[in-house]
Amino acid sequence: MGVKAAAQAPTLEMVAARAGVSRATVSRVVNGSPKVKPELIDAVNVAIAELNYVPNRAARSLASRRTDSIALVIPESTSRVFTDPFFAAIIQGVAMHLTNTDYTLGIVVASEANPDKTRRYLTGGNIDGALVVSHHSGDHSYARLGRTVPVVFGGRPLHNDDNDSYYVDVDNIEGSLIAARHLVDRGRRHIATIAGPADMPAGFDRELGWRRAMSEANLDPSLIEWGDFSPASGAMAMRRLLARRTPIDAVFAANDQMALGAYTAIAEAGLSIPGDIAVVGYDDDALGSAASPAITTMHQSSTELGAAMADKLVAMIEGKPVEHATILETRLIVRGSS
């Protein structure tokens, strides 16, 4: 479903009347003032969306009503953004796709400690559309932006009963099922997992795929610990698994970064990979392929994901019909760790 072009030129006064607030309140919301109650911001943004109102400062001209600007929003800490290869690949994919368009890309690293600041900027007429990508983006805390500007998410919504979000993702359940089956096929019978947080779609779905593989093979589904997709959390989760003194001969980590953390804990325990414990990750990032031994992983192209997100968003901005969901392919890459 495309985004409808405005049929008229609504005024600030019309927005104020629709929202039931003063003209000054509308002006404050449009200009990103922090001195407006959240419920009034929501009311104004709904009115703006219903009237297709665009502030003059957001447009290159009154005729086009376009800024030719797209924001890539990453609701993560700066330390995570600049150390995790996942985000670098996403940015590369978006930037490459936009190279041959008129759109410029702005990157917003948005701490969830103050999300309203970012939302005010995004709904203040500064951009034509937004891309939201994060390990945490599944809760779609930015979903309301879709009432004001087109939004595409990296990753499916955890709860999407109304099917009202646009997103690009991979089939994480099928991918993790394939990864865990690979370990079963290698003769491993005590297969643990280091799962991502259950309130994130990738964490939830990859855990579910592992559980299905354990059920198929009639293996123990209790060998599970959770991390936050960082190497440090992977190491701590692996240490907890080993501390159980329960036999473990394989581990599926929900991403390569946590798999690298598991490497550290396995080495600390004097165990070998894959002799004592086989390891499989997910994502196929550059650091995982450079590890020793290189990590067996489920390949997903984060660069392709970024490009697909940008392609969908540009189509929405230009009023073209698009599907709500785009699902990209994954494949198993077998390397030395299994």
Residue 304 is predicted with a pLDDT of 93
Distance CA 178, CA 317 (A): 37
180, 275: one domain = yes
Percent of the chain with pLDDT over 70: 87
We report the CATH number of the domain holding residue 8 as 1.10.260.40
Look at 123-127, 243-247, 298-302 and tell me which has the smallest mean pLDDT.
123-127
The arithmetic mean of pLDDT across residues 54-64, rounded, is 49
50 pLDDT above the threshold of 90: no
Give every CB contact of residue 19 below 8 A, 6+ residues apart in sequence: 25, 26, 40, 43, 44, 46, 47
2 pLDDT above the threshold of 50: no
Q: Is residue 334 part of a domain?
A: no
244 pLDDT above the threshold of 60: yes
90, 138: one domain = yes
Beta-strand relationship, 325-328 and 331-333: unpaired
Q: Which two tokens stand for residue 280?
A: 């499989």
152, 200: one domain = no
Q: Is residue 228 part of a domain?
A: yes
Q: How far is CA 194 from the centre of its chain?
A: 19
Which of 250, 325, 2, 47 is CA-nearest to residue 150? 2
Q: Which residue has the higher pLDDT, 179 or 13?
A: 179
Q: How confident is the model at residue 8 (pLDDT cuts 50, 70, 90)?
A: low
Q: Is residue 335 part of a domain?
A: no
Domain count for the chain: 3
Q: How confident is the model at residue 182 (pLDDT cuts 50, 70, 90)?
A: very high
Distance CA 302, CA 328 (A): 10
165, 176: one domain = no
99, 150: one domain = yes
120, 262: one domain = no
Residue 140 is predicted with a pLDDT of 53
96, 118: one domain = yes
Q: How confident is the model at residue 149 (pLDDT cuts 50, 70, 90)?
A: confident
307, 295: one domain = no
Give every CB contact of residue 106 below 8 A, 6+ residues apart in sequence: 69, 70, 71, 72, 127
- Global confidence as pTM: 0.73
Q: Is residue 338 part of a domain?
A: no
Distance CA 24, CA 219 (A): 64
Distance CA 44, CA 19 (A): 5
Structural domain of 164: 62-169+303-329
Domain end residue (candidates: 53, 78, 96): 53
**Per-residue pLDDT reduced to its tens digit, 206-224:** 999 999 999 999 999 999 9
114, 45: one domain = no
Q: Is residue 119 part of a domain?
A: yes
Q: Is residue 311 part of a domain?
A: yes
Task: Look up tokens 């990753």; give the residue.
Answer: 155
We report the CATH number of the domain holding residue 201 as 3.40.50.2300
Q: Is residue 336 part of a domain?
A: no
Q: How confident is the model at residue 246 (pLDDT cuts 50, 70, 90)?
A: very high
163, 68: one domain = yes
Residue 159 is predicted with a pLDDT of 63
Q: Is residue 337 part of a domain?
A: no
284, 324: one domain = no
183, 84: one domain = no
